Amino acid sequence: LNTHDIGTTSQLFIDDHLVDNRWGVEYLTETVIRRFHAPIKHPRNPLIPGQGGLLNVIRDEEDGLFRMWYQEYWDQSMEPRLYTYAIAYAESSDGLDWTLPRIGEHEFKGTKDNNVVLLGPTGGRAESPYLLHVPERFKRGYKYVMLYLTDDPKSSRL
């Protein structure tokens, strides 16, 4: 994981200093038609019990799999209050039935037998994953580019 150390100074969101280009931004002006659709709960209720939140799902163009990165929560202690977040990964062939591959990369909830893909830079909190859709020429060899938050101001990264 290559990151850019921004220290503790304030940064503009996606500042040109941190990003070497605007990823081929094209501004479009068109009429927007607002339509409301009432949500309908799926009868199979495709949930990951007791987990998940602030998720990002994409469909991989190469193999057709749905890939999800989501915020995983760990309530470690009530007294004193201690909790953390990590970014975990799941995949599905239909978007309803999800598997949680055992990645074994980071210890979380007392074990490495989990699907956690990212902790904060100092082993602390990582949350709110967001995959950025960028043209191939700007990915610098990576398949995905993710923006996430961390609670360590000395190690804030993009």
Task: Convert the pLDDT of each residue in 25-52 to its tens digit.
Answer: 566 677 878 888 888 877 776 666 556 6
Does residue 11 register a pLDDT over 70? no
Q: Which of 50, 38, 124 is nearest to 87 (CA)?
A: 124
37 domain residue, yes or no: no
101 domain residue, yes or no: yes
**What is the tens place of the pLDDT at every residue in 59-70?**
998 999 999 999
The domain total for the chain is 1
Predicted local distance difference test score (pLDDT) of residue 92: 95
93 domain residue, yes or no: yes
Q: Which of 2-11, 88-97, 115-124 has the lowest mean pLDDT?
A: 2-11
Instruction: Classify burial at 86, counting beta carbons within 10 Å of its beta carbon; exposed 0-12, middle 13-18, buried 19 or more.
Output: buried
145 domain residue, yes or no: yes
Name the percent of the chain lying above pLDDT 70.
72
Band of residue 156 on the pLDDT scale cut at 50, 70, 90: low
111 domain residue, yes or no: yes
110 domain residue, yes or no: yes
21 domain residue, yes or no: no
* Domain encompassing residue 109: 56-155
12 domain residue, yes or no: no
